[in-house]
Amino acid sequence: MSFSDFNLQADFIKSIEAAGYQSPTPLQSQLIPLLAEKKSAVVWTQSASGKTGSFLIPAMNYILENPAPEKRGARILILTSRRDRVSQINYTIKRLSQDHTMRFGFIVSGRPYQTQMRLMRRPLDIMIATPGRLNDLMSNGKADFSQLEMLIIDDLTAIYKKNLHGLVEQIIKQASDDCTTLTFVSNDDDTSAYAEDLFPDAVQIHVEDDDGFVTETQHGKANAQDNNKHSNKQNAAQKPNSKQASQIVVPENLMAQKVHVADDYTHKIAMMDHLMDEFAGESTLIYTATNKAAEMLQENLSNHGHAAELVDDLEADEIKDIDILISSDQQKTVLDANIYPQIDTHIIHFDLPRKTEQYLKRLSNHSQDHDEALLMIDGYNYNELKHIEKTLGETLEQITVPGLEPLNPFVNLSKGKPSRNNSRNNSNNNNKKPHQNRNKNNRTNNKPRQNTKNAKNRKPRQNQNSNSNEENQTDGQRRQRKGPFGRLNGGAQRKQSNGHNTNNNRNNANKGRGGRNVKVGVSTRGTAPPPGSGGIKNDKGWQSDFASPQERKTEKSKVVIRYSKKRILEDKPEDS
Q: What confidence score (pLDDT) does residue 12 get?
A: 92
Better-scored residue on pLDDT, 447 or 402: 402
In a domain, 234, yes or no: no
CATH number, position 193: 3.40.50.300
Q: For residue range 322-337, what is the model confidence (pLDDT) as tens digits?
A: 889 999 999 988 888 8
Q: For residue range 249-266, what is the model confidence (pLDDT) as tens digits?
A: 556 678 889 999 999 999
313 and 192 in one domain? no
Res 525 pLDDT > 80: no
- CA proximity to 516, closest of 455, 473, 452: 455
Q: Which of 145-154, 209-218, 265-274, 353-362 has the lowest mean pLDDT?
A: 209-218
Percentages (nearest 5) of helix, strand, coil residues in the chain: 35, 15, 50
101 and 7 in one domain? yes
Q: Which of 74-78, 201-205, 231-235, 565-569 has the lowest mean pLDDT?
A: 231-235
Per-residue DSSP letter, 517: B
Among 199, 216, 233, the domain boundary falls at 216
Q: For residue range 416-435, what is the model confidence (pLDDT) as tens digits?
A: 555 555 555 555 555 555 55
Q: What confidence score (pLDDT) does residue 109 get?
A: 81
Helices (H) and strands (E) in the chain, counts: 18, 19
Q: What confidence score (pLDDT) does residue 209 get?
A: 45
Q: For residue range 98-154, what is the model confidence (pLDDT) as tens digits?
A: 888 888 888 888 778 888 888 888 888 999 999 888 988 888 888 888 889 999 999
Q: What confidence score (pLDDT) does residue 305 get?
A: 85
206 and 254 in one domain? no
In a domain, 281, yes or no: yes
In a domain, 430, yes or no: no
340 and 294 in one domain? yes
Give me the domain span that covers residue 145: 3-216
177 and 39 in one domain? yes
Q: Which of 50-59, 166-175, 229-238 has the lowest mean pLDDT?
A: 229-238
Domain count, the chain: 2
130 and 171 in one domain? yes
334 and 204 in one domain? no
Q: Which of 4-13, 56-65, 134-143, 223-232 has the lowest mean pLDDT?
A: 223-232
Phi-psi region of 453 (alpha: psi -120 to 50; beta: other; left: phi over 0): alpha
267 and 372 in one domain? yes
87 and 199 in one domain? yes
Among 399, 431, 462, the domain boundary falls at 399
Q: What confidence score (pLDDT) does residue 250 get?
A: 59
DSSP string, 61-93: HHHHHS-----SEEEEEEE-S-HHHHHHHHHHH
Per the prediction, the chain carries an average pLDDT of: 74
Q: Which of 67-76, 77-86, 362-371 has the lowest mean pLDDT?
A: 67-76
Q: What confidence score (pLDDT) does residue 432 get?
A: 53
Res 235 pLDDT > 50: no
252 and 306 in one domain? yes
Question: pLDDT > 90: what percent of the chain?
Answer: 23
Q: Which of 146-155, 160-169, 483-492, 510-519 has the lowest mean pLDDT?
A: 510-519
Q: What confidence score (pLDDT) does residue 528 get?
A: 52
Q: What confidence score (pLDDT) does residue 537 get?
A: 45
288 and 159 in one domain? no
Report the pLDDT averaged over residues 469-484: 51
Q: What confidence score (pLDDT) does residue 263 get?
A: 92
Amino acid present at 39: K
Report the pLDDT averaged over residues 524-529: 50
Among 195, 216, 237, the domain boundary falls at 216
In a domain, 155, yes or no: yes
In a domain, 274, yes or no: yes
Q: What confidence score (pLDDT) does residue 429 get?
A: 56
In a domain, 509, yes or no: no
Is residue 127 within 8 A of residue 77, CB to CB? The reply is yes
Q: Which of 201-215, 232-246, 271-285 has the lowest mean pLDDT?
A: 232-246
Kindly indicate the confidence band of residue 352, based on its pLDDT and cuts at 50, 70 and 90: very high
255 and 212 in one domain? no
Q: DSSP 3-state assignment of 29?
A: helix
Cα(21)–Cα(282) distance, integer angstroms: 16
Res 520 pLDDT > 90: no
Report the pLDDT averaged over residues 150-169: 90
Res 351 pLDDT > 90: yes
In a domain, 207, yes or no: yes
Res 223 pLDDT > 80: no
The model's pTM: 0.45
In a domain, 148, yes or no: yes
